[in-house]
Amino acid sequence: MSAEDLENYETDMELALYREYRDVVGLFSYVVETERRFYLANHVDLQVRSAAGEVYFELSLVDAWVWDVYRSARFVKSVRVVTFKDVNVEELAKAELDLGSGTGFTG
């Protein structure tokens, strides 16, 4: 396998992962970013802990999807992350689309 073949394979995998993300993002309530991973989840519990003078974060996710091109199964029932690095949690805005409430569309 040439370097070009490997690069094309990785590009195709990343594109497939992005498409999967685009297809599933609407199923989740939160986006979570850590130093190592990007997650979508429906429940997030973030706890700030300290031990021996060090502060760390303990993160529990339920019904999650993991952005990882090398994972064969990206849907995970629960995830526990412990990190000393930054954690970003954002609640996703739900699109309010109700075609049945006087929008002018008729069937």
CB 74 within 8 A of CB 64: no
> What is the mean predicted confidence (pLDDT) over 77-90?
96
pTM: 0.78
CB neighbours of residue 17 within 10 Å? 16
In this prediction, residue 1 carries a pLDDT of: 80
CA distance 102 to 90: 32
- pLDDT of 97 higher than 70: no
In this prediction, residue 7 carries a pLDDT of: 85
CB 71 within 8 A of CB 91: no
In this prediction, residue 95 carries a pLDDT of: 66
Secondary element (H or E) of residue 9: helix 3-24
- pLDDT of 44 higher than 60: yes
In this prediction, residue 10 carries a pLDDT of: 87
In this prediction, residue 5 carries a pLDDT of: 82
CA distance 56 to 69: 27
- pLDDT of 13 higher than 80: yes
CB 75 within 8 A of CB 67: no
Position with higher pLDDT, 41 vs 70:
41
